[in-house]
Amino acid sequence: MNNRPNYVISRRRLLQASAGLAFGALPLVRPTLAATGNEFRIEAAPGRASLVGRDGPHTAVWAYDGTIPGPTLRFKQGEPVRILVDNSLDEDTTVHWHGIRLPNAMDGVPGLTQPPIKPRETFTYEFTPPDAGTFWYHPHANSLEQLGRGLAGAVIVEEKEPVAVDRDVLWVLTDWRLTAEGGIASGFGNRMEAAMSGRVGNAVTLNGVVPDDQPVHAGERIRLRLVNTSLARIMALRFEGHRPVIVATDGQPCNPHEPEGGRLLLGPAMRIDVVLDMVGGPGRRYRIIDDFYEGLAYLLTHLAYTDDPPLRSEPLDAPLRLPPNPLPEPDLSSAERHELKLEGGMMSGMGMMGGGMMQGMGGMMGHGRAVWTINGTSMTGDGHAGMPPLVTLAQGQSHVITLRNDTAWWHPMHLHGFSYRVLARNGAPVPHNQWADTVLMAPRDTVDIAFVADNPGDWMLHCHVTDHQTAGLMTVLRVGGGRSKT
């Protein structure tokens, strides 16, 4: 395995590339988060960031409060928050609070749940997060470009009682497609990519910078919150010499367990909280490798132990389980059943693109063309007024939705407004009481999810590979009324 992947941009090469260019010493804009109690204010604006190493050129980005990632917003479970969002971009935006169960009007889908925030306008979001955990925020307008140019940040909703760890650590992992000069590559919305794996880039940052060694202390226990804010890159993280224990998926506590095969699978928009006991020796370094794509494994970073003597001789004996969130438990015996079939993309062998795909690609230049379908229908773009719901779910009722991936591609399927129990995969029960808002589906996978439709409104369901979403792998589920209709 290479220490340096050929597709992760080489720092040295970038330095050479930039040697002749003049880069003004533009300081990074510091976070100006005006937080008064539970009130926050963030601004979406063009900015510059250091994505290719401290000595490399700055990259022109779009950012919240001038930082990549945007400021980490810390909310308290069960306490109301207000967030003012200023739009200093030259185009409409919105903010979507990914994974947080909130009123439909606060969901941030332009046209569907709110008017877009126009340039130089401000929108106020207000809600009370019911669940503690790791969430994130991002635009839901021109998503491919706004997310791909850097607009994303983490939300941490704190438990009422602190969890027994020595340190709480957040890693926001972001994939970028950069040019040799360190700029963000153009070409968002390439139709060919949209029908394949989406816009996977060539550089990965950790909390907005080229990952350096991550300093740790022998004997300490950390809670590590992993957030994948990439447009399309799926990650599979392996921790050399360590045994991470998963304690939450998409912010929701699960039964503590070690990941299958020792790899943490993290698709776009997904979060995993792990507890990590630092069982290595002082002064040692251990690799963290992402080997999701075959033949393209790369070194993400190192856990680098300080020389300090171990914090304790035995691993901490505190329980790993997080306190439960107030999630309504679906009643499977009375649940209504629905099926959503995903089709399309390259090499699907069936569906609208079957056989006709190459013809379809011929007209690739056209915009807004769907290459994916859900139950034979496609919604493209980001959300807009008058999107008719594909299914209406009776409010208050339990529902089981079978997601059937009849494509040759991976899809992290996301539902707004709810956390759902991941019941079964390909007919086998999913263990460890795992809940999610974004479930990663391998090609041909069938996944059953269940939830109580207690939150009325029109909710997006889409793939979080952003090119897939904007090219048709999206629909709307309506929760309301007393009867379901398909």
Cα angle 441, 261, 252 (rounded to 5 degrees) comes to 55
Which of 273, 269, 64, 60 is CA-nearest to residue 174?
269
Q: Shortest approach of Cu ion to residue 231 CB, angstroms?
A: 11
Q: Shortest approach of Cu ion to residue 79 CB, angstroms?
A: 21
468 interface partner picked from Cu ion, ligand C2O, none, CB below 5 to 8 A per type: Cu ion
* 58/464 with CB nearer Cu ion: 464
Reduced to 3 states, what is the DSSP secondary structure of residue 122?
A: strand
Site stretch for Cu ion (CB under 5 A), options 49-57, 125-133, 287-295, 405-413: 405-413
Q: Which of 140, 238, 404, 468 binds ligand C2O (CB under 6 A)?
A: 140
3-62: contacts with ligand C2O (CB under 6 A): none
Q: Is 478 in the site for ligand C2O (CB under 6 A)?
A: no
463 interface partner picked from Cu ion, ligand C2O, none, CB below 5 to 8 A per type: Cu ion
Give yes or no for a contact between 17 and 60, defined as CB atoms under 8 angstroms apart.
no
Reduced to 3 states, what is the DSSP secondary structure of residue 45?
A: strand
- Specify burial of residue 74 (Cβ count, 10 A radius: 0-12, 13-18, 19+): middle
Site stretch for ligand C2O (CB under 6 A), options 79-87, 293-301, 397-405, 458-466: 458-466
* 136/298 with CB nearer ligand C2O: 136
411 interface partner picked from Cu ion, ligand C2O, none, CB below 5 to 8 A per type: Cu ion
* Total count of residues recorded for the chain: 486
Give DSSP secondary structure letters for 463-481: ESSHHHHHTT-EEEEEE-S
CA distances from 53 to 11, 50, 59, 173 (A): 7, 6, 11, 15
Reduced to 3 states, what is the DSSP secondary structure of residue 192?
A: helix
Reduced to 3 states, what is the DSSP secondary structure of residue 43?
A: strand
346 interface partner picked from Cu ion, ligand C2O, none, CB below 5 to 8 A per type: none
Q: Which of 221, 404, 462, 468 binds ligand C2O (CB under 6 A)?
A: 462
* 56/417 with CB nearer Cu ion: 417
CA distances from 348 to 10, 190, 344, 358 (A): 35, 19, 6, 12
Q: Is 269 in the site for ligand C2O (CB under 6 A)?
A: yes
95 interface partner picked from Cu ion, ligand C2O, none, CB below 5 to 8 A per type: none
What span, in angstroms and rounded, lies between the C-alpha atoms of 412 and 347?
19
Q: Which two tokens stand for residue 383?
A: 């959300």
Going through 99-220 in order, the beta strands assigned E by DSSP cover: 122-127, 133-138, 153-158, 167-176, 203-206, 214-216
Residues 6+ apart with CB under 8 A from 176: 51, 59, 148, 184, 201, 202, 203, 204, 205
What span, in angstroms and rounded, lies between the C-alpha atoms of 161 and 180?
47
- Specify burial of residue 373 (Cβ count, 10 A radius: 0-12, 13-18, 19+): buried
93-132: contacts with ligand C2O (CB under 6 A): 96, 98
Site stretch for ligand C2O (CB under 6 A), options 287-295, 296-304, 344-352, 456-464: 456-464
Which residues are 210's β-sheet partners? none
Q: Shortest approach of ligand C2O to residue 382 CB, angstroms?
A: 8
Q: Shortest approach of Cu ion to residue 465 CB, angstroms?
A: 4
Q: Which of 238, 302, 399, 416 binds ligand C2O (CB under 6 A)?
A: 416
Site stretch for Cu ion (CB under 5 A), options 98-106, 178-186, 219-227, 353-361: 98-106
Residue number of the CB closest to ligand C2O reads 98
Site string for Cu ion, 446-465 (x = CB under 5 A): -----------------x-x
Site stretch for ligand C2O (CB under 6 A), options 73-81, 290-298, 426-434, 457-465: 457-465
Site stretch for ligand C2O (CB under 6 A), options 253-261, 371-379, 424-432, 459-467: 459-467
Site string for Cu ion, 363-402 (x = CB under 5 A): ----------------------------------------
Q: Shortest approach of Cu ion to residue 176 CB, angstroms?
A: 19
Q: Which of 41, 225, 414, 468 binds ligand C2O (CB under 6 A)?
A: 414
What span, in angstroms and rounded, lies between the C-alpha atoms of 423 and 20?
57
* 96/399 with CB nearer ligand C2O: 96
The two beta strands, 398-405 and 411-415, are unpaired
Q: Is 271 in the site for ligand C2O (CB under 6 A)?
A: no
- Sign of the CA dihedral running 170, 172, 173, 178: negative
Q: Which residues bind ligand C2O (CB under 6 A)?
A: 96, 98, 138, 140, 269, 414, 416, 460, 462, 464
Q: Which residues bind Cu ion (CB under 5 A)?
A: 98, 411, 416, 463, 465, 468
